[in-house]
Structure 1
Amino acid sequence: MTAPNRPNAPRWLPLGAAPTTQRRVFCFPHAGASAAVYAPWRGIAGDRLAICPVQPPGRAERFREKAFTSVDALVDELVADIGDQFTGDYAFFGHSMGALVAFEVTRKLRAIGAQPPKHLFVSGRAAPQLPDTRKQLRALPTPQLIAELKVLGGMPDAVINEPELLELFVPLFRADLTVNEAYAHRAEDPLPIPLTAFGGHGDPRADDDELKAWGELTADRFALHTYPGGHFYLEKKAGELIDIFAAELAG
């Protein structure tokens, strides 16, 4: 039996909602990215899992909608629109900004008495209870912002080298960076579900100690997996991540 789709579900789940009888992983994108970054993962997962990429406003087919600058507002609207999809054997995965969103959606579901995910997978972001001591990027002049994004990687050359595309993308990046950088952590009880963190060696946005600190946020099992490749290590390690997703949900 599938959960009934609400009218706004296709906006958030552009590749479709999987049956709630299936094991599903809802995947939240990093700053500036769209649900499309996870589309190839569906083929890698095969019939083991349904990969369900989440599409926040301000990008792709939702580009005319204003991007959120507050994680609380984003989470509230997402749960109101597609909260009925979060049932059965499901998990959340988020990379960078997406890790923060996945974490806060999980806490929102607990707050309203809804079923939490079976597992929370986070990637490429310092644990949210830690102070953010890094350079703030959201208000940098555009040339400096682009230079910083180039260092991190993950931004297509087609965008970097095309002024008209950059003009469209920079406001989205600034909004997403604001979600991440203006976040104020609220202390709550640890989550009652297993939590796994992933990261890349030498990631300038999340070192090993900052990834390990995610373990403080669960009262259940915690694991950490790190790989070569910096902030966007997952571009080459998607298969290994999906194997872990499948093993955890099957177990």
Structure 2
Amino acid sequence: MADNLVGSRWLPPQRSLPDAGVQLFCLPAAGLGASAYREWQGALGPGVEVIAVRLPGREMRFDDQPLSAVEPIVEQLTGPLLERADRPFALFGHSMGALLSFEIAHEAVRRGRPPVQLIVSGLEAAHDRTPVRVKAHELPEAELLEYVLKLGGIPPEGHEFPELVALFLPTLRADLAVGETYRYRERTPLPVPITALAGRDDPTVDHRRFAAWSQLTCKEARTHLLPGEHFYLDAERPAVLDIIRSVLR
């Protein structure tokens, strides 16, 4: 493409880094968008090309209907992602994004284009997750807002901007449904190393179930617990990026 700019609805147009040895595709948590990773390129440096996935229903795709299940997202995203992947690539995702990254890794393997690394954050192992007792995506608006406030997904002053919250909640509901309706399908373990990260005090992650990520790969598996709760990524960004650099060398 002219001027070395490449992109699609799913992948923000950006100038590629031809000298980067690896591409890192990043998928966000529920309710968040590509901007969650806006600081990562500068922090990781020119050796890694950071490509933040742009999901429907937010930011530049606000007018697109959000998708509420894993399957259509994987079906629609994997093709553009693999087309953009013109060198070794890795996948990173936090929470819902981790689940999507795991399923995209399986689809990429099926298509003969495995990633060199799968990095999952803030999620129990896909095949051994704690059963959902309360489906947050079905909660009334006020209760859903309280749920997200408790997790730290939006700042405490969210109550003060009801109009903004009303715009945000339909996408959040769809995203939460992605995780809460997901059903793991038994498959051969991934021929891809897995690195799993989580906040040490994350109330959504049982550490025993988190360690079970090692059962989903026939390659090396690493787990790291970092200070913080579910949304620990910003506060622990230097440590997170150090881990990413180490596994992408």
TM-score by length of 1: 0.91
Deviates more, 1:79-88 or 1:103-112: 79-88
Amino acid at match of 1:96: S
The question of whether the paired residues in 1 share the 8 Å contact of 2:129 and 2:209 is answered with no
Structure 1 pair 80–159 and aligned structure 2 pair: CA distance change class (3 A) = farther
The secondary structure found in structure 1 opposite 2:39 is helix
Deviations 1:64-105 (A, max 9, x none): 000111111001101133321234221110000000000000
Distance in 2 between the 1:17 and 1:183 partners? 35
Deviations 1:184-223 (A, max 9, x none): 1100000011100000012111121121011110000011
- Aligned twin of 2:182: 183
Distance in 2 between the 1:160 and 1:18 partners? 40
- Aligned twin of 2:115: 117
Correspondences of 1:137-216 after superposition (within 5 Å): 137-157=136-156, 159-216=158-215
Shift of 1:158: 5.8
Amino acid at match of 2:239: E
- Aligned twin of 2:48: 49
Shift of 1:116: 1.1
The question of whether the paired residues in 2 share the 8 Å contact of 1:86 and 1:116 is answered with no
The secondary structure found in structure 2 opposite 1:178 is helix
- Aligned twin of 2:14: 16
Structure 1 pair 166–105 and aligned structure 2 pair: CA distance change class (3 A) = same
Q: Please provide the CA RMSD for this pair.
A: 2.1
Deviations 1:19-76 (A, max 9, x none): 4652221110000000001001122112232221111111001010001111110011
Distance in 1 between the 2:104 and 2:86 partners? 13
Structure 2's unaligned 5+ residue stretches are none
Shift of 1:112: 2.1
The question of whether the paired residues in 2 share the 8 Å contact of 1:28 and 1:94 is answered with yes
Distance in 2 between the 1:38 and 1:158 partners? 23
Structure 1 pair 56–161 and aligned structure 2 pair: CA distance change class (3 A) = same
Aligned length in residues:
246
Distance in 2 between the 1:131 and 1:232 partners? 18
Deviates more, 1:163-172 or 1:203-212: 203-212
Amino acid at match of 1:95: H
Distance in 2 between the 1:37 and 1:160 partners? 22
The secondary structure found in structure 2 opposite 1:236 is coil
- Aligned twin of 2:245: 246
Aligned-residue sequence identity (percent) comes to: 36
